[in-house]
Amino acid sequence: MPLAHFDGALAVVTGAGNGIGRAIALRLAESGASVVAADIDLPAAERTVTLAKTLGAGGTAYQVDVADRAAMETFAAEVKEAHRVPDIVVNNAGIAVAGSFLDTGVEDWENILGVNLWGVIHGCRLFGGQMRDRVNALPNKPDKPNFGGHIVNIASAAAFSPWRAMPAYCTTKAAVLMLSECLRAELAGSRIGVTAVCPGFVSTDLVDHGTFVEGDDATTERLRTRGQKAIKLRNYPPEKVAERVVHAIIKNKPVVPVNFEGHLLHTLSRVSPASLRLLARIPARG
């Protein structure tokens, strides 16, 4: 069953220090949830919690590297001990690597796989396990079945479409989408919902902090500037993504494309994958 009421809920959000993660944390707090804001940047997570508390909800900040298995295991255990098993988990933390496949080094692959995929795997495995165990430990009443929780994984419209300019990013987001679909099927019997949210261009600092693996410094700066201008021109605020996340939890949606390009790529991936293969050939020009 979907979680229709957030009052008293405990929500864990990774990458909550800024951008989409902060917007989701604040939207959940505004809806009555107590928020555990996790980020590799602790001061940023603390600022999110400060803002959440102005909305009337409780909150706690944690510093954690989602790519670090041991750190995530410690984090999940601390959340359970200091609070309880969360009702909502949003695996949002992510990074970007741009450049051709043959120019993307092993270290770049390890970095983006660590955050974008392993971070989601750790969050799903650890908190999903806690949610399932909570359901199994309680007697199930036919008139009031146990609600297990809800996991939201932030993928991307890039999960629907290949692109020669961002093979590493597209690969990780496609993997997050498939992981979410598989996990949804597995946890349905425990009344735990799983949603993959797939935004297109959103006004965040993803490009600012992204890694560009092709060309010299001047080329990298030109590509970064172009990306920043495109995002500014698109002008899609992270708060709108947060609204879709809350709606997805309430309605227990499996896959949620966000904004025009998200819906377009999702549709094309089903009705005309050949057109996406043609679009994938477009290079990112400096």
Quote the CA–CA distance of 188 and 197 in Å, as a whole number: 18
Residue with tokens 């990013």: 169
Helix (H, G, I), strand (E, B) or coil at 60: strand
d(CA 283, CA 38): 35
The CA–CA distances, whole Å, from 38 to 58, 83, 200, 217, 231 equal 14, 14, 23, 32, 25
Catalytic residue among 118, 147, 169, 212: 169
DSSP string, 158-215: GGT---TT-HHHHHHHHHHHHHHHHHHHHHGGGTEEEEEEEE-S-SSSTTTT-EE-SS
Nearest by Cα to 238 from 193, 196, 194, 205: 205
Structure tokens at 65: 């590297």
DSSP label at residue 139: P
Per the annotation, the verdict on 62 as an active-site residue is: no
- Number of helical (H) and strand (E) elements in the chain, helices listed first: 10, 9
- Report the SS3 class of residue 35: strand
Contacts of 87 (CB under 8 A, 6+ apart): 3, 9, 10, 11, 33, 147, 149, 150
Q: CA-based Rg of the chain, rounded to a whole angstrom?
A: 19
Tokens 């698109």 found at: 234
* Active-site annotation, residues: 169
